Amino acid sequence: MRSLHDCPAPAKLNLFLHVVGRRADGYHLLQSVFQLVDRADTLHFDLRDDELIVRTTEVPGVPADQDLIVRALRLLQAEYARRHGRLPPGIDVAVEKILPMGGGLGGGSSDAATALMAANRLWQAGLSQQELMDLGLPLGADIPFFLFGETAFAEGVGERLLPVRGPDCWYVIIEPGVAVPTPAIFSAPDLTRDTGRVIISDFSSSYEVSGKHRGFGKNDLQDVAERLFPPVAQAVEWLGRHGDARMTGSGACVFCAFSSEREADQVVALVPGTWRAWKAHSLSRHPMKSLLQNQ
């Protein structure tokens, strides 16, 4: 096999996100539930006759050498060389980006995870899911989740993952039109860093009792993001008129769950024209898993 085309890199939502402490190196310890949704960037991979990793499409504001896709492929290429004593062939990678950057949807991390899954197959590198997760973690804390590939209760900085049943619902997602830099949120003096720990059944039972519309817990990063980026606060306020609206990740995107596609369509149609908004369905499994099984 020399090519893998039309590989999806789906977005994630953090259904809640609690900051429960801090590591000695300053990184924050989190608890969160990560949920995949069916809106995705699309990547295409072709083996080359040399050993170069080449991104063949432009991504505004992201030079190829800094792109998480390129960095992830180079890491896996080096790991392959360590194991097999020779470099595998290079790869041309094309990316169709539709997920906003700095949106809290994990687009860059998802692109990198999809690249690792595709290249592991194209090169027949043979890394296990856990080995790919370990390889990806230093590039971004969300990468292990996308490789894990199912709704997950996450701890640590997001690398300790357990499967959990998530809601089967439609989301309306608003892009407030700002890119939120993650470091600005985590370094804010007024960030709450001591939320009490929860256990996985606190989350699961809250869904069973209260249905899909009231989310569990909160996003501890949201108050800081709303203060620093007023469009986030405006989007939360607007979407909050239709349900339990909250921010995903470190922002800026804001989401709200609905039980039917019709309700989601109705709300999307009402969103003020200054914001981009779309609906997405919850995904219980990463689509790359089926795609790779069928190759």
Ligand X SMILES: Nc1ncnc2c1ncn2[C@@H]1O[C@H](COP(=O)(O)OP(=O)(O)O)[C@@H](O)[C@H]1O
Ligand Y SMILES: C[C@@](CO)(OP(=O)(O)O)[C@H](O)COP(=O)(O)OP(=O)(O)OC[C@H]1O[C@@H](n2ccc(N)nc2=O)[C@H](O)[C@@H]1O
According to the binding rule CB under 6 A, does residue 88 interact with ligand Y?
A: no
Q: For 101-145, what is the HEC assignment?
A: CCCCCCHHHHHHHHHHHHHHHHCCCCCCHHHHHHHHHHHCCCHHH
By a kind-dependent CB cut-off of 5 to 8 A, residue 158 interacts, out of ligand Y, ligand X, none, with ligand Y
Stretch that binds ligand X, among 65-73, 157-165, 228-236, 270-278 (CB under 6 A): 65-73
DSSP 160: E
By a kind-dependent CB cut-off of 5 to 8 A, residue 111 interacts, out of ligand Y, ligand X, none, with ligand X
- Residue with smaller CB distance to ligand Y, 234 or 248: 248
CA distance 237 to 231: 10
Neighbours of 294 (CB within 10 A): 6
- Residue with smaller CB distance to ligand X, 10 or 249: 249
Question: Under rule CB under 6 A, how many of the chain's residues touch ligand X?
Answer: 19
- Residue with smaller CB distance to ligand X, 96 or 261: 96
What lies within 8 Å, CB to CB, of 276 at 6+ separation is 100, 174, 175, 177
Tokens of 169: 């619902």
- CA-closest candidate to residue 149, choices 117, 182, 184, 193: 117
By a kind-dependent CB cut-off of 5 to 8 A, residue 186 interacts, out of ligand X, ligand Y, none, with ligand Y
**263 three-state secondary structure:** helix
CA distance 203 to 146: 20
100 is in an annotated binding site: yes
According to the binding rule CB under 6 A, does residue 104 interact with ligand X?
A: yes
183 is in an annotated binding site: no
Judged by CB under 6 A, which of 47, 101, 157, 268 binds ligand Y?
157
- Residue with smaller CB distance to ligand X, 114 or 151: 114
Ranked by CB distance to ligand Y, the top (closest) residue is 249
According to the binding rule CB under 6 A, does residue 176 interact with ligand Y?
A: no
273 is in an annotated binding site: no
Measure the N-to-C terminal CA separation of the chain; round to a whole number of Å.
Answer: 9
Binding-site residues sit at 100-110
- Contact residues for ligand Y (CB under 6 A)? 14, 26-28, 30, 104, 106, 109, 140-142, 157-158, 182-183, 186, 249-250
Binding-site residues for ATP sit at 100-110
